[in-house]
Structure 1
Amino acid sequence: MSQASLHPVIRRVTDRIAERSASSRRAYLERIRAAKHTEPARANMACSNLAHGFAAISGTDRESVKGLVRPGVAIVSAYNDMLSAHKPYAEFPEWIKESARQAGGVAQFAGGVPAMCDGITQGRTGMELSLFSREVIAMSTGVALSHEMFDAALLLGICDKIVPGLLIGGLSFGHLPITLVPAGPMPSGLPNSEKSRIRQLFAEGKASRQDLLEAESASYHSPGTCTFYGTANSNQLVVETMGLHLPGATFVPPGTPLRRALTEEAARNAVRAAKDEQAPSIGEIVDERAIVNGVVALLATGGSTNHTLHLPAVAAAAGIDLTWDDFSELSSVVPLLASVYPNGSADINHFTAAGGVQTLIGQLLDAGLLHPDVNTVAGPGLDRYRQQPFLEDGELVWRDGPRHSLDTSVLRGVSEPFDTEGGLRVLEGNLGRAVMKISAVRPENRSVTAQARVFDDQEEFKAAFRADELNRDVVVVVRNQGPQANGMPELHGLSPSLGVLQDRGHRVALVTDGRMSGASGKIPSAIQVTPEASAGGPLSKVRDGDMLRVDGEQGTLEVLVPDAELESRQPATPATAEQFGTGRELFTTFRRVVGRADRGASVFPAPEQHSVPDEISA
């Protein structure tokens, strides 16, 4: 299929990332190439080590591991039966093991990783562990693979911090062929717009707790991923566009024959890759082009702002230095092609019915907005990802997906976008840098200049709202919510009340060094402000009554006080409670060493710290 020439901005940003990352990427590739092997990894083990590796296995798998001939495939899973998105994974290991046997390999469950749900912990202290759970998942993945029994791996995970954590951990074993295995979304339930309406009524005291619970349980009602376009579904779409899922696997529902067939094929594909010395490893697939493709897919769909944290952290794990400036420049030329809640009324199942990932990728490829010449787990080139999977007489086949949208209210082509620019905007000014998800904000609401009202946590804000102290134009500042302060929780508890104020006709915006994620809604929100307040950032000097300008159109974030006055102010020092309970004391070290939000808010070294001197790496 003919391809358009690569857009000059896509090429320029990719080249800039590659040049900036040259030393660290070279060092990374040298490490993973040195770790590659041409025979099963366990063949070099001492007998005692190997015996421990198959002591618990019986039957043909025991003989396969002991025989040192068949390649070994690791299964690393985020299964638990409390979270709807991960419950379907209960059945996957047995499917994978049987398919690996049939393909001439042997699969073992190498380890589990934690999977916490931000939906459960919203507004509670457990949310302060959420972002750091990404690092725990990465390390848990590393522990699972550290036994060096394996020649390929399948990583089973979907939500929020889980997929980025699996990727970071997997990239530490970048010499292995690794595929991510999704499980799919739940069926559509109560429309998200109706759920949001009832949340606002509850915030105003016009709906009961029982009304709210009924609405929430009608929205989140069965196994599978939540159907709004939050971080979980952004994860899945981005990962497929990076070539790390099988084509079309992302949004196939759980509990269907096609879902099982795709999972079984992922196992067979892993065995084939382990046997093929020319098959690309995950560290070779995740290069500068794949990272840019992931950012483009995120921008083109108005995906989760959490990925302005996760994608730089994932890139760093592969020796690549991705910055918010790269997001910003790409956003200037990537059109917004999807309208999925909270950016519209449709859910992810409607997006799939309109053509989904395959139509999106095809449109972006044809416009020269994606790199076509990439490695993927399905083979060379991104063209394979125009195809959709089907079952024909019980056999898995792929056919070309729709070239054009089947429902332009949900998904559009490049020639008729919802917006000419991507769904994210980077803001800068004398308060530092921040991110705004503009795709869900009406253009007339994207710029707000108003007096600040400053809070140090969500509960202070909610008390002021209930006391009717905010019934005016206002820029709500919620600070000391950054990664160093308390782990950078999501602050969705603010959204219903802010929505009420906006609906009353007030000009309303939010400024915070915390997160809002993929469910960022109709309020213009300058989030992930860096440097954060607790690190002495300018946000710590904002006072009640200061005039703030939050401009998502122009990309500015300013407090309108003279520079000399701002400089002379002492940072506010909030009374910080001891961070004990719900496991928070276990993460004290993480809070002390975590990096800035615009560097991924990671506790792991940034790319420049991975690099080695040229005379060593040469």
Structure 2
Amino acid sequence: MEPLLSGVAMVQLNNTVAEVTQRIIERSSSLRADYLRQVAEDHSNRPERGKLSCGNLAHGFAACGEEDKNSLRLMEASNIAIVTSYNDMLSAHQPYAEYPDMIKQAMREIGCTAQVAGGVPAMCDGVTQGQDGMELSLLSRDLIAQCTAMSLSHQMFDGVLALGICDKIVPGLLMGVLSFGYLPALFVPAGPMESGLPNKEKQRIRQLFAEGKIGREELLQAESDSYHSAGTCTFYGTANSNQVVLEAMGLQLPGSSFVNPSNPLRDKLTVETCHQMARITALGNDYRPVGEIVDERTMVNATIALLASGGSTNHTMHLVAIARAAGIILNWDDISELSAAVPLLAKVYPNGHADVNHFHAAGGTSCMFRQLLAGGFMHADAKTSWGTDFGDFTQQAFLDNDKVVWRESPEIPLDLEVLTTVDNAFSTEGGLRLLKGNLGRGVIKVSAVAAEHRIVEAPAVVIEAQDDLAALFESGQLNRDCVVVVRFQGPKALGMPELHKLTPMLGILQDKGYKVALVTDGRMSGASGKVPAAIHLVPEAANGGLLAKVIDGDVIRVNAVTGELQFIGEINELEARAASPQPDAGQRGCGREYFAVNRDNISNAEQGASFLFGGV
């Protein structure tokens, strides 16, 4: 069904948004032009099915049914690639089991075909949290991009439907798809699980366990009550940030991200996505190649949606890498400058008590985009894979007599404690800030940090593995103001694991009244909470960073108000010290030995932590 015309009047673009966008355009001009030339060349030189040898084509459709074979022989109908991250261990991806058959049937209904072009790995940070496998998590993103490119390399296809939701999977899929930028692309979500145990209660029980006040059985029951069915986890971490970002980029149907797997609308939206894909291939008159959709305006819209919703810090790396895949140079200064100008409109756990189901019920992405567009914070004229342009992404899907219909989202959110207006924002700025100082550059998420905890100046407690904190905590040595430094956790050292095992202990110390902060070259991700955490520090300890020279007792200032990260003392003295050697860990076991080449060639966090793009 064709979308309605947008109900948001064109308004003047915010000055900061306009200036940052123009700066990105100018900085990227040469690289972007080269990328678009490659896209055009690839499109011209692709082996059209009609020009494939009979042997090539026969191999390509040998396993198809007769109906699909006949369609592929005609050469006049589109054949769509399905690239899937399905596995049945992960709740978010388990619903994808039935999607290929559903997609194939939807395409047949309009005289087209679809084939599973390939699968990509899909690992869960929630399962590997604190385990050796977590050290492969970030590295998996670029591997997924490579697997996606491999899946499309048969060049039998006229478009791509990408099945992915969680952490590194969506960025990796998108990076891989952008290497085939002449193809149109849409992402197909599967939706979040329905609300279970409230996230605030889950956090309380985790903290009680860390204090030794309850046992493992009670903790496991609480976790099971939180993560209880098929679907994405309901807190606002990287997985659900991915969904907001995809909609902001116009690569997923508006308002489709947070429809539960059990909702009848879910399957209808999947069918609608298939039909839209057929409309935008090069075989029709509305060709929309993904390499043209993802431009500088699109990347700014994605960044603003992330900031306004209080999204995942992981995207300070993912957005940089995605942009680079499209020939665009986005950096942390851009993100920080936009964050200072963009209002925070959502309070979803860990930034509030609500989960993504509550956010969706309050108006969701479509209503939030309406507010941002009306305030001049997003590019209404950005290209999209659905609708006329991004101005149409203020609409929501509903079922009417078993058909998908589109209606304008509410002008005012339906629950102002979860989703608010630009005029009454939760904060006048977004949730992410850039930290700079003599220790380097890093990122901090402040949307869940209370104002009184945003400045910490205290002696350092230095550890080189997150497991080392527990003994210090249990012995009472941390019952004081302190800045916990966890180093040698960066991309080159360990592949940059998340450090959430630290969160309950640091939270307890903060609740006792101590001034506490975390400084690390590792990650905390979208679940970063109430404790100020200076993360993604560059240069990392394993690559010449001064963090390798910090010792216990050094005074460190983390000031999230002014954006300051400082060693307090004589910097010459710090620089003259010998660096601590990197611990001999994280190199073997759990498959990590196979990824040494990835760690050796990876760029730093500010450059996207990518071994595909070693720098920009």
* Shorter-chain TM-score range: over 0.9
Residue in structure 1 matching 2:295, options 287, 291, 299: 287
Residue in structure 1 matching 2:556, options 528, 548, 556: 548
Match of 1:441 in 2: 449
Match of 1:201 in 2: 208
Match of 2:355 in 1: 347
Residue in structure 2 matching 1:473, options 471, 478, 481: 481
Secondary structure of residue in 1 paired with 2:498? coil
Match of 1:611 in 2: none
Deviations 1:402-448 (A, max 9, x none): 11111111010000011101000110000000100000100110110
Match of 1:218 in 2: 225
Residue in structure 1 matching 2:336, options 298, 315, 328: 328
Give percent identity, aligned residues only: 56
Matched, 1:304 2:312: yes
Match of 2:284 in 1: 276
CA distance in 1, matches of 2:24, 2:210: 45
Residue type matched to 2:109 in 1?
A: Q
CA distance in 2, matches of 1:523, 1:574: 26
2:80/2:158 contact within 8 Å kept: yes
Residue in structure 1 matching 2:65, options 33, 58, 68: 58
CA distance in 2, matches of 1:256, 1:38: 43
Secondary structure of residue in 1 paired with 2:341? coil
Match of 2:400 in 1: 392
Match of 1:232 in 2: 239
2:145/2:174 contact within 8 Å kept: yes
2:46/2:155 contact within 8 Å kept: no
Match of 2:147 in 1: 140
Q: Please show how residues 174-573 of structure 1 align to structure 2 within 5 Å.
A: 174-274=181-281, 275-573=283-581
CA distance in 2, matches of 1:369, 1:450: 38
Structure-2 change in CA distance of 1:341 and 1:177 (3 Å): same
2:162/2:186 contact within 8 Å kept: yes
Q: Please show how residues 51-130 of structure 1 align to structure 2 within 5 Å.
A: 51-130=58-137
CA distance in 1, matches of 2:250, 2:566: 39
Per the TM alignment, residue 581 of structure 1 is displaced from its structure 2 partner at its CA by 1.1
1:24/1:607 contact within 8 Å kept: no
1:320/1:607 contact within 8 Å kept: no
1:510/1:526 contact within 8 Å kept: yes
CA distance in 2, matches of 1:248, 1:346: 18
CA distance in 2, matches of 1:568, 1:184: 53
Normalised to the residue count of structure 1, the TM-score between the two structures is: 0.97
1:319/1:607 contact within 8 Å kept: no
CA distance in 2, matches of 1:149, 1:607: 32
2:494/2:586 contact within 8 Å kept: no
Per the TM alignment, residue 40 of structure 1 is displaced from its structure 2 partner at its CA by 8.6
Q: Which runs of 5+ in 1 are unaligned?
A: 609-618
Residue type matched to 2:444 in 1?
A: M
Per the TM alignment, residue 606 of structure 1 is displaced from its structure 2 partner at its CA by 5.4
CA distance in 2, matches of 1:122, 1:434: 22
Residue type matched to 2:417 in 1?
A: S
Deviates more, 1:392-401 or 1:58-67: 58-67
CA distance in 1, matches of 2:14, 2:588: 51
Matched, 1:6 2:17: no
CA distance in 1, matches of 2:76, 2:61: 14
Per the TM alignment, residue 277 of structure 1 is displaced from its structure 2 partner at its CA by 4.5
Secondary structure of residue in 1 paired with 2:423? coil
Deviations 1:122-167 (A, max 9, x none): 0000000000110111111011100000010100000000000000
2:132/2:586 contact within 8 Å kept: no
Per the TM alignment, residue 278 of structure 1 is displaced from its structure 2 partner at its CA by 3.9
After TM superposition, which residue ranges in structure 1, 4 or more long, deviate above 4 angstroms? 37-40
Deviates more, 1:561-570 or 1:125-134: 561-570
Deviates more, 1:507-516 or 1:535-544: 535-544
CA distance in 2, matches of 1:98, 1:38: 30
Secondary structure of residue in 2 paired with 1:4? coil
CA distance in 1, matches of 2:167, 2:210: 26
1:21/1:607 contact within 8 Å kept: no
Per the TM alignment, residue 607 of structure 1 is displaced from its structure 2 partner at its CA by 7.2
CA distance in 2, matches of 1:356, 1:578: 40
1:177/1:281 contact within 8 Å kept: yes
Aligned residues: 608
CA distance in 1, matches of 2:222, 2:44: 54
Per the TM alignment, residue 579 of structure 1 is displaced from its structure 2 partner at its CA by 1.4
Matched, 1:593 2:586: no
1:40/1:72 contact within 8 Å kept: no
Per the TM alignment, residue 395 of structure 1 is displaced from its structure 2 partner at its CA by 1.0
CA distance in 1, matches of 2:486, 2:575: 21
Residue type matched to 2:404 in 1?
A: L
